[in-house]
Structure 1
Amino acid sequence: MTPASGTYGGTVNLSATLTSSGSAVSGKTINFTLNGNPVGSAITTGSGVATKTGVSLSGIYPGIYPSGVGASFAGDSFYSATSGTASLTVVYGTCTGTNAGGVILPPVNNDGSSVFKRQGGSTIPVKFTVCDANGNSISDPNAVFLNGCCGSITTLTRMRGTVDNVNEMVTTNIPDVAFHYVGDHWQFNLVTTNLDAGYTYTFQINLKFGVIQFTVAVK
């Protein structure tokens, strides 16, 4: 059984090898599953390899499934039944729009150079996008956030030190307790008064597959 990987909303190729006493077994039907659901079959070649291409990943969220791929041979009068599993990895795709996928978006710079003013009634718009196999932004929170709707921001580090001059504008928005989808991206309005002036913060957004980290300073 061979581990498989594909992009959310796209397809994946599955492969398994059937042998007996170390020798390839040809002309046998191998049945494949994804997360336990049947997705078709293929016949083993002269080298004992059965390949099923273009299997839909519809309904399977991004992430790593340790036993997500299954293959089985029902057995016949010559060979015993056998089965096996392998890992399935579903990743995000490359965005086709102007917003880069899987990174923090302006007004927060992804190089950590953003400095915001601590000011009552103001927020920092934290934005990001992740996309499917067709390059479209994903609006389903269950496919985006580790724990489903609708994600949050975790503080990783808080470091006091010299902070450069303010170089980003804050906005006046209603503070958020979770991300919400706006147009073509996810957004969290982070309250500046919850942060301390003179400190640099590193935050993390936990996604269904991977994380996004970003750094901001407050003055």
Structure 2
Amino acid sequence: MSPTTLTVSPASGTYGGTVNLSATLTSSGSPVSGKTINFTLNGNPVGSAITNGSGVATKTGASLSGIYPGFYPSGVGASFAGDSSYSPSSGIASLTVVYGTCTGPNPPGGVILPPINTDGSSVFKSNNDRTIPVKFTVCDANGNPISDPNAAFLNGCCGSITMLTRTRGTVDNVNADGTTDIPDVAFHFVGDHWQFNLVTKNLDAGFTYTFQINLKFGAIQFTVAVK
């Protein structure tokens, strides 16, 4: 019985969509054709494929259902059961699941949304009765906004904002309006975006702040000044 080696390729796909998987079966450096390779995603079976003349088995359209955005170092698995001529072998590779591109009337994904400017130029008035609406959206493979907090936020339910920097200095004139909404303790989903009403009374006038929204995969940074 000849020994075999199964080399699995890293894979990437979009949340809520599908991914193509590939693995190469060889024996003593030569490709092994006509053999069934079984694939898994995070340990769950997603189908099989037959190796071609180059020893490559390709499983197309494996579902990413139930797999949240993120990087999984051993997310792709493949195995060859062996037969009377060849010994069994298996291998793993990384899986990356990303957010999709928002389409249609939906706001752009993965960036801070108005009234906060993406270029960091927003200046709000310091006022105990006002809040700053912090808004963003992320989308799935179909371009639709994701309302599941477990897929949107690193810590699951409700999300978090981290203050990265607080810098004292000259602040331009007020150019953005806050709201009188009730201050939030967590993000909530509104129509096509996530929103957190940040209370301005906790921010000192004459300072510029940089914050980070911690997503399930990646982060969104934004800057606001208070005057």
Same-fold call, TM cutoff 0.5: yes
Residue of structure 2 in register with 1:199 after alignment: 207
Contact 2:106 2:144 in 1 (8 A): no
Q: Which amino acid aligns with 1:74?
A: A
Residue of structure 1 in register with 2:4 after alignment: none
Distance across 1 between alignment mates of 2:177 and 2:214: 26
Counterpart selection for 1:140 from 118, 135, 148: 148
Alignment of 1:55-94 (within 5 A): 55-94=62-101
Cα offset for 1:121? 1.5
Give the gaps of 5 or more residues in structure 2: 1-7
Residue of structure 2 in register with 1:14 after alignment: 21
Distance across 2 between alignment mates of 1:169 and 1:205: 21
Cα offset for 1:160? 0.3
Scaled by the length of structure 2, the TM-score of the pair is 0.96
CA RMSD after TM alignment? 0.5
Residue of structure 1 in register with 2:3 after alignment: none
Residue of structure 1 in register with 2:35 after alignment: 28
Q: How many residues align?
A: 219
Scaled by the length of structure 1, the TM-score of the pair is 0.99
Distance across 2 between alignment mates of 1:153 and 1:116: 18
Counterpart selection for 1:129 from 119, 131, 137: 137
Aligned sequence identity (%): 85
**Which ranges of 4 or more aligned residues in structure 1 deviate by more than 6 Å?**
none
Distance across 2 between alignment mates of 1:9 and 1:98: 17
- 1:95 and 2:110 matched: no
Distance across 2 between alignment mates of 1:68 and 1:170: 43
Q: Which amino acid aligns with 1:133?
A: A
What are the superposed Cα offsets for residues 26-77 of structure 1, whole Å, 9 maximum, x if unpaired?
A: 0000000000000000000000000000111111100000000000000111
Cα offset for 1:98? 4.1
SS in 1 for 2:205: coil
Contact 2:131 2:200 in 1 (8 A): yes
What are the superposed Cα offsets for residues 151-180 of structure 1, whole Å, 9 maximum, x if unpaired?
A: 011000000000000000110011111100
Cα offset for 1:120? 1.2
Residue of structure 2 in register with 1:187 after alignment: 195
